[in-house]
Structure 1
Amino acid sequence: MDGLFLTFEGPDGAGKTTVMNAIVDQISEKLGDKLLVTREPGGNKISEQIRNIILDRDNTEMDARTEALLYSAARRQHLVETIIPALEDGKLVLCDRYVDSSVAYQGSGREIGMEQVYEMNRFATEDRLPDATIYFDIPVEVGLDRIQANRPAGDVDRLDVETKAFHERVHDGYLKVASQNKDRFKIVDATQPLAKVESDTLAIIRQIAQNYFKG
Structure 2
Amino acid sequence: MSYFVAIEGIDGSGKGTQTAALHEHFQQSGLRTSSITFPRYGETLIGRQIGRFLDGQFGELQHLHPIPISMMYAAERFESRELIFEKLNGSELLISDRYVGSNFAHQGARLKGTERAEFLEWIQKLEYEVFGVPRPNLVIVLDLPAEVSAERVAMKNARHYTEQVTDLYESDCDYLLGVREVYLELCEQ
Q: What is the TM-score normalised by the length of structure 2? A: 0.78
2:153 is aligned, of 147, 151, 162, to: 147
User: 1:157 matched to which residue of 2?
Assistant: 167
User: 2:179 matched to which residue of 1?
Assistant: 170
Q: What does 1:11-90 correspond to in 2, within 5 Å? A: 11-31=10-30, 34-42=32-40, 44-61=43-60, 62-78=64-80, 80-90=81-91
Shift of the 30–160 alpha-carbon distance from structure 1 to 2, 3 Å rule, reads same
Structure 2 gaps of 5+ residues are 159-163
Q: Is the 8 A contact 1:60 1:158 kept in 2?
A: no
Show CA shifts across 1:87-139 (max 9, x none).
Answer: 223441111011111111102x2216233333332334437310111211112
Q: Distance in 1 between matches of 2:53 and 2:129?
A: 20
Q: What does 1:114-153 correspond to in 2, within 5 Å? A: 114-126=120-132, 128-148=134-154, 150-152=155-157
Show CA shifts across 1:163-190 (max 9, x none).
Answer: x22111111110111111xxxxxxxxxx
Structure 1 gaps of 5+ residues are 181-215
Query: Could you tell me how far 1:63 is from its partner in structure 2?
Result: 3.9
Q: More helix per residue: 1 or 2?
A: 1
Q: What does 1:105-116 correspond to in 2, within 5 Å? A: 105-107=106-108, 109-111=109-111, 113=116, 114-116=120-122
Shift of the 152–165 alpha-carbon distance from structure 1 to 2, 3 Å rule, reads same
Q: Distance in 1 between matches of 2:18 and 2:133?
A: 27
3-state DSSP of counterpart to 2:70? helix
Q: What is the TM-score normalised by the length of structure 1? A: 0.70
Q: Distance in 1 between matches of 2:45 and 2:93?
A: 23
Give the residue type in structure 1 aligned to 2:12.
Answer: G
Higher relative contact order (CA 8 A, sep 6+): 2
User: 2:161 matched to which residue of 1?
Assistant: none
Across the aligned residues of Structure 1 and Structure 2, the Cα RMSD in angstroms comes to 2.5
Q: How much identity, in percent, do the aligned residues show?
A: 25
Q: Is the 8 A contact 2:7 2:15 kept in 1?
A: yes
Q: Distance in 1 between matches of 2:68 and 2:44?
A: 20
Shift of the 14–110 alpha-carbon distance from structure 1 to 2, 3 Å rule, reads same
Aligned residues: 174
